[in-house]
Structure 1
Amino acid sequence: MKKTNITILLIVGILVFANLVSEQYFFRLDLTEDNQYTLSEATEKIMESLEDPITVKAYFSENLPPHIAKTKNDFEEYLIEYARHSDDNLVYTFINPNESEDLEREAMEAGINPVMINVREKDQMKQQKAFLGAVFQLQDRKEIIPFMQPGAPMEYLLSSSIKKLAVTHKPEVGLMQGHGQPSIAELSQVKSALDVLYNFRAAQVNDSLPVPEGIKTLALVRPTDTIAEATLGQLDSFLENGGNLFVALNRVEGDLNSSYGSGISTGVEKWLGKKGLEIREDFVIDAQCATISVQQRQGFFNFTSNVAFPYAPIISKFADHPVTKGLEAVVMQFASSLNFTPKDSLTTFTPLAFSSETSARKQAPQFFDIQKEWTESDFTSAHQVIAGVLEQRHPNGNRSRIFVVADGDFPISAGQQPVQGDNVNLMVNAIDWLSDDTGLIELRTKGIHYRPIAKLEEGTKTTLKYANFLVPILLVLVYGIVRMQINKNKRIRRMEENYE
């Protein structure tokens, strides 16, 4: 009896000691794909740098379908990790707005918008109001995530919201104006994405006006007027002082009404050529391409049909780089190819985006044969370089980077038509990489992957079903065989001892 009491006391003591130690040396294992719940170095630095506490009110509904409820669980897992790295400067609470009308009103007044989702209950489908959002507050400043889209890059949204609260002065990114470039309104999707961490504003640059003070990165997008050498000299001075430049340039243009395309010149291509980077006066054509609407006539009737247009390549081959990480498809139109010839050891070029294996180049000018039947023999020059980064080391010791895309229109919205998501991501990622030294760019495309078994192929589902059934039985059998062998060996040893 005494021995039993001592054993119980030892076990209790060990548990208490382990509990105390775990509070000081707490750790969690992340066994998910791509370490989804392991915070990046950039996030850890942001949390460690917090000087004042941030409160998070997470408004998430309960009893949601599994694929939506997972978003709440993922959000909570992230907040646990954020709180651990914040030195008690992040406090969070979860609120279920569906519990009462007052909480529902509180959530909506805070900016959390409910969505209607379909829920199956007792073999019937019904609609339910669901809240999936959060409010971040630091003193009198607030940041809101009105709706957490399942599968969205959660760490990026959390870290950028916290950084936006914690950082009072955002770096400035300029959009160069004065030479026929688009306005910021025409880059509204890019601006919305950049405004999270930067102040994206128009910047007048000409012969007598240098790049404004405070701008770390300047974007030069689709100039249509000739840019004087003196103005380009202002860009050189900006680069020599450590600035960075994003360039999206048209070297050719096409008119679908006249089915004719020709080369254009603004002076920027000559300026880049002096640095060793040639934007060729050609059209990149690709069998992997977008479609265009074409009016056709059959008998007395006119109808519209979509036809493949190789002059609108879909770029899906990217180098492994923070700018292109996570990109799947960027749609270009009348893009040109890049070619780099080193001028000296101070300048390097890294190609980042390429056409597909079935692509080619056509020298401008060109007539577009919309009805042409394209064959493999038309695509003889694979993997044309469409975008890349030119890095320079200047005599004064400064370094600068120029990100170049040989299509000036890809990030610009045409009327009410939204820009392709990855078109926006390419420009935003590039500017983020040029401007940000925290590393948050690598989180922009880090999403939470949800893979329901219902979407698996039948063969895979059958394999998993039998594996779940048979593996535990197999483990029990193996354990039994091992135990039986151990006991058998013990009996043999005892018999040998008795025999001796």
Structure 2
Amino acid sequence: MKAKTTNQIIGNYLLRIGIILMVMLISTQLYLRLDLSANRSFSLGKYSRETVAGLKDKMVIKVYASKDLPPEFNNVQRYMQDLMVEYKRASKGKLNYEFVRYKDAEELASLAEENHLQTFPVQIYEDESLVMKDVILGLVFESQGRFDILNLYPGLEPTMEYEITKTIQNVDGKLLPYLHVFQDTLYKYYPAQLFNREINQNYKVGLTDLEKPLAQIQTLLFAGITHDLSLEQLYNLDQFIMKGGKVVFLQDRIHTDQYGINAMESNIFALLAHYGVLIEPNMVLDSRCSEGQGRGLGEYIPYPIFPVVRGMDDSPITRNTDNTLLYFASEITALDSINIEFEPILQTSASSGILRGPVFNIEPVMTRGLSYLLNDPPVTVAAKISGKLTSFFARDPAMQKPGFVAEREDAEFIVFGDSELFMDPDDPLYLNRGFVVLNAIDYFMDNLSMIQIRTRNLAPSVLRMDYYMYKKQIQPAELERYRSTSRALLGIFKSIAIFLPVLLLAILGFFVWLAKKPREAEA
């Protein structure tokens, strides 16, 4: 009997061990991850998964990381590792990653230099004193002799997946969609290194002067002009739209030179007005704006002439974007409410203003800053237009050539009221200002999954005061009447945070006591 009991005990233990081993074996084959973060920040987007699953050749990503990283770099590394696990699983064996081994900091620095990785000087607290330390954190992508790098640094987290996926597809030699780009002389006068890099990494770019008809490739980026187009250029642009081409316009009505700031005229405005869209001869102001150097040393003052605008929650193009800086922007309005659908995709805040042309005197605005009268409702500075359009040359037989198309039922284009939206910003805070332009291009290319990974982690926190003011259209002058409500809510949240855990523990203890009470009575 005793032997039988012993055998049963051993059998039970062996059965349990077998079950545990089976569960562990199954867990290595099955992968389940629950991501409850905002916008699923720790899970790969559809575009990233498709990119690595469709790799033509095997790829390895080598991680170069200093030991004992400062906390801010540690956060970047942890997020990068989470993404690497996701990339590896989604690639189905085509992509792997590894941490590069090294003996000491000198060897790591040498390896980083060989691979053109950046060294970040960081001030840290060590041995009870502040010291400077060189930190290295970067990725090297290798595939069939092709090579690229990506430096990782604090602040990159919101766009890290986008940057990694973009680098993977370029190293893999993925065929990029074709994009026409029209650049006026205006484009050459301003620094546009960041924007040029972005469009060349996302598209196969072909420059056009519009002097010849465009091949019916889907999308054209029209990067602003300061003068008239020739009739030939205007005709080719019009027919591109009439034949189904999609155009993203970067165009305002403001011209600056040594004589001042003035409203400008061009036949491009006549073309757009014919299509039912007016770029107003004005300058948009906003209390939510960038800051610039004041007259005092180290003094920074708000520049309402440079609005910082948010996207629309219901627009796939600008959703999650709240940090788009505009330089001298013009208002966009609709002239036709019957044949076209006018959808705003970027607007200023509820504390906006307008400077009227033809001469823009910005001195009072710059002097008074936010004390300048900014009581206008949100102003539309970018819009998507769709619907029935007739050709600008429909009543001009002399200009019509073989293959002329007089109207289009499903025409589409987008207008941003800022010709300098391609320009690199002075403030690193707005480095991603051109993302809305890329999103507009990808929207016309039906590449919504790329838009999602580019901007999904840029969404503002719903708890931020400025975001709440934007959603409720609250002006700064109205804040005082909300302060008592804010203080009351803060007191409620504090009370809940203090007493709720105690209450839950008390309830749990009560139920445990109830469960034990019958046993004690039986004993």
The change in CA–CA distance for 1:309 and 1:370 in structure 2 (over 3 A counts) is farther
What corresponds to 2:275 in structure 1? 275
Instruction: Quote the residue 1:138 is aligned against.
Output: 143
Q: Deviations over 1:74-102 (max 9, x none)?
A: 11111111111111111111124463644
Match of 1:18 in 2: 23
Paired residue type of 1:161: T
**Cα distance in structure 2, aligned partners of 1:477 and 1:417:** 53
Structure 1 residues 313-322 or 20-29, which shifts more? 313-322
Q: Contact (CA 8 Å) 1:283, 1:335: kept in 2 or not?
A: yes
Is 1:353 the equivalent of 2:346?
Answer: yes
Tell me if 1:387 matches 2:382.
yes
Structure 2 residue aligned with 1:441: 451
Q: Which moved more, 1:48-57 or 1:166-175?
A: 166-175
User: Counterpart of 2:382 in structure 1: which amino acid?
Assistant: A
Distance 1:292 1:13 in 2: 68
Counterparts of residues 445-484 of structure 1 (less than 5 Å): 445-447=455-457, 471=501, 478-484=507-513
SS of residue in 2 equivalent to 1:85: helix
Question: Among 318, 329, 338, which residue is 1:324 paired with?
Answer: 318
TM-score (norm 1): 0.80
Counterpart Cα distance in 1 of 2:29 and 2:188: 54
Say whether 1:411 aligns with 2:422. yes
Alpha-carbon distance between aligned partners in 1 of 2:455 and 2:207, rounded to the nearest angstrom: 27
Conserved in 1, the CA contact under 8 Å of 2:226 and 2:255? no
Between 1:389-398 and 1:320-329, the stretch displaced more is: 389-398
Aligned residue pair count: 466
Residue identity opposite 2:188 in structure 1? S
2:178 maps to a residue whose letter is: E
Q: Find the aligned partners of 1:54 and 1:354 in 2 and give their Cα distance.
A: 42
Equivalent residue for 1:250?
Answer: 252
Q: Is the 8 A contact 1:60 1:97 kept in 2?
A: no
Is the alpha carbon distance of 1:164 and 1:351 closer, same or farther for their aligned partners in structure 2, counting shifts above 3 Å?
same
Cα distance 1:146–1:323, how it changes in 2: closer, same or farther (>3 A)?
same
Letter in 2 for 1:314: P
Partner Cα distance (2:330, 2:74) in 1: 46
Distance 1:190 1:371, change over 3 A: same
The equivalent of 1:299 in structure 2 is none
Structural mapping, 1:483-498, within 5 Å: 483-492=512-521, 494=522
> 2-side partners of 1:401 and 1:97: how far apart?
55
- CA 1:315/1:73 → structure 2, altered by over 3 Å: closer, same or farther? closer
After TM superposition, give the deviation of residue 309 of structure 1 in Å: 5.4
Whole-Å separation in 2 of the counterparts to 1:397 and 1:49: 37
User: Taking structure 2 as the reference length, what is the TM-score of the superposition?
Assistant: 0.77
Q: What is the identity, as a one-letter code, of the residue corresponding to 1:281?
A: P
Distance in 1 between the 2:289 and 2:192 partners?
A: 23
| Matched AA of 1:160 | K
The residue aligned with 1:50 is 55
Q: Is the 8 A contact 2:162 2:453 kept in 1?
A: yes
Is 1:158 aligned to 2:171, yes or no? no
Q: Distance in 1 between the 2:518 and 2:90 partners?
A: 52
Aligned to 1:454: none
- SS in structure 2 at match of 1:69: helix
Q: Look up the match of 1:9.
A: 14
Task: Measure, in 2, the Cα distance between the counterparts of 1:413 and 1:75.
Answer: 27
Structure 1 SS opposite 2:382: strand
Given the superposition, is the C-alpha separation of residues 97 and 169 from structure 1 closer, same or farther in structure 2, using an over 3 Å criterion? same
- Distance in structure 2 (CA, Å) of the matches to 1:80 and 1:366: 57
CA contact (8 A) 1:154 1:447 kept: no
Correspondence 1:79 to 2:84: yes
**Could you tell me how far 1:144 is from its partner in structure 2?**
1.1
Q: Distance in 1 between matches of 2:291 and 2:302?
A: 4
Superimposed CA distance per residue, residues 442-500 of structure 1 (whole angstroms, 9 cap, x where no aligned partner)? 22234599x9xxxxxxxx9xx99x979995x87766544322211213455x49xxxxx
* Cα distance in 1 for residues equivalent to 2:410 and 2:102: 52
What RMSD over aligned residues (CA atoms) do the two structures have, in Å?
A: 3.8
Q: Is the 8 A contact 1:315 1:353 kept in 2?
A: no
CA distance in structure 1 between the partners assigned to 2:132 and 2:302 by the alignment: 40
Q: Structure 1 residues 128, 96: closer, same or farther in 2, change over 3 A?
A: farther
Aligned partner of 2:329 in structure 1 is 335
- Does the C-alpha gap of structure 1 residues 468 and 197 become closer, same or farther in structure 2, counting only changes over 3 Å? farther
- 2: distance between equivalents of 1:278 and 1:203? 25
**Alignment deviations for residues 372-428 of structure 1 (CA, whole Å, 9 cap, x no partner):** 7589894453111111122347899995532211222343359x9989424333333
**Structure 1's 483 and 348: CA in aligned 2 closer, same or farther, altered over 3 A?**
same
**Aligned counterpart, 1:456:** none
Partner of 1:349, secondary structure, is: strand
Q: Secondary structure at the match of 2:91?
A: coil
8 Å Cα contact 2:252/2:419 also seen in 1? yes
Aligned counterparts of 1:354 and 1:79: Cα–Cα separation in 2: 37
Q: What is the deviation of 1:304? A: 12
Deviation of 1:17 after TM superposition, in Å, equals 1.1
**Alpha-carbon offset, residue 264 of structure 1:** 1.9
Matched, 1:430 2:436: no
Q: Which runs of 5+ in 2 are unaligned?
A: 1-5, 390-404, 462-489
What is the identity percentage for the equivalent residue pairs of Structure 1 and Structure 2?
Answer: 21
Residue 300 of structure 1 corresponds to: none
Determine the C-alpha separation between the residues in 2 that align with 1:483 and 1:308. 60
Mapped to 1, the partners of 2:151 and 2:298 lie a distance apart of 40
